[in-house]
Amino acid sequence: MTDVSTVSARRQGAVGRLTVNRPEALNALDLPMIRAMLTALDEWESDPAVTAVVLDGAGDRAFCAGGDIGVVHSSAVGDPAVALTLWREEYRLDARLARYPKPVVALMDGITMGGGIGIGAHAAVRVVTERSVLAMPEVAIGLAPDVGGALLLARAPGELGPHLALTAGRVGPGDAVHCGLADHRVPAGRLAALVDDLAAGAAPEPAVAKYAEDPGPAPLAAARCWIDHAYGGARTVEDVLYRLDAIDEPGPREAVAAITAAAPTALKVTLRAVRQARAMSTIEECLRQDFRLCSRFLAHPDLAEGIRAAILDKDRAPRWRPGALAEVDDDSVEAFFAPLADELDLPEPDHLLHP
């Protein structure tokens, strides 16, 4: 159905199957993949034989590890238009999946980070497995969570969202369900049977419930006391660190280490972004904010440096500019959120256009 080898779009009974098929790159998304997925979704929307869409990733390591970070780095040091085009199309895909008129069942088996959260965690039915690892790790490379991730994190219980955003924390299936990033845990070995049931015409929710098991432990739920204390009401990232430093326990100490290793500018922008997302009611509103932030980070030295240190050279020694939280003033943070001359254009949901 598609001539893009890195996306497999085909019919299986009553469902449209979308498989991101780039396992050697942990199914990272590039522009041709994004456009192929949009094309398939457009075709299936008007096909009465397709009653649902199943979205998964090739291989057994990753659902989708994110967007193509190499493209973003090349754009940051070269032509910004390349990354901006990628993000425009990617955010359009995220919104399309979130608003799709037929149920989208996302099988987030394995590594699911960044752009993988964007295509999977806004779906109607979100499935994780015992192999799933979810994260929005952008602050570690000098960026803020995008793909509507701030909206998901803002809706997590208590202060778990800001905690995950500032620490670039990774969660397993139990915490993914607890934080609202997923709905059900299904054993990886039963996914094929689940898809067969869906292809035979079974309704998604009952079909998933048939195979779902207890999601397992949720360590973050047990850590809510100190997390809510540290982040709740804290005005700045420095306030968060001060409160964490005062708690002599392994969890808070690990959080301090993770936060202090991240880019200072990205940390301050991220805290504000997640808190602003708490007042948002639509994914489109969040994606417009994301596009503003990513556009500004693309011109900031930390993004290229963060990708260099984490992905390219892998020396894990980024030289952030500025290098300290105290050097990131309120005006510089405010500038990230200012309107763009060329804003992200997304259609408003029908229920907002026709109350």
Of 98, 16, 116, nearest in space to 61 by CA: 116
Amino acid at 336: F
Amino acid at 246: A
Token reading at 65: 């590890």
Token reading at 230: 């540290």
Point out the catalytic residue in the list 30, 90, 138, 183.
138
Please give the biggest Cα pair distance in the chain: 59
Beta strands at 170-171 and 133-135: parallel, antiparallel or unpaired: antiparallel
Q: ∠ at Cα 105 (102, 110), nearest 5°?
A: 155
Point out the catalytic residue in the list 16, 57, 67, 149.
67
Active site includes 66? Answer: no
Torsions phi, psi for 288 (to 5 deg): -65, -40
Peptide bond before 322: cis, by omega within 30 degrees of 0? yes
| DSSP letter assigned to residue 67 | B
Active site includes 138? Answer: yes
Point out the catalytic residue in the list 16, 115, 116, 172.
115
Active site includes 110? Answer: no
Active site includes 146? Answer: yes
Torsions phi, psi for 55 (to 5 deg): -115, 125
Using CA atoms, how far residue 334 sits from 186, 195, 240, 296, 329, in Å, is: 42, 46, 20, 11, 9
Point out the catalytic residue in the list 146, 175, 284, 302.
146
Of 148, 157, 203, nearest in space to 177 by CA: 157
Region of residue 113 (phi > 0: left; psi between -120 and 50: alpha; otherwise: beta) = beta
| DSSP letter assigned to residue 142 | T
Say how many C-beta atoms besides its own lie within 10 A of residue 355's C-beta.
Answer: 4
Of 57, 65, 35, nearest in space to 138 by CA: 65
| Active site members | 67, 115, 138, 146
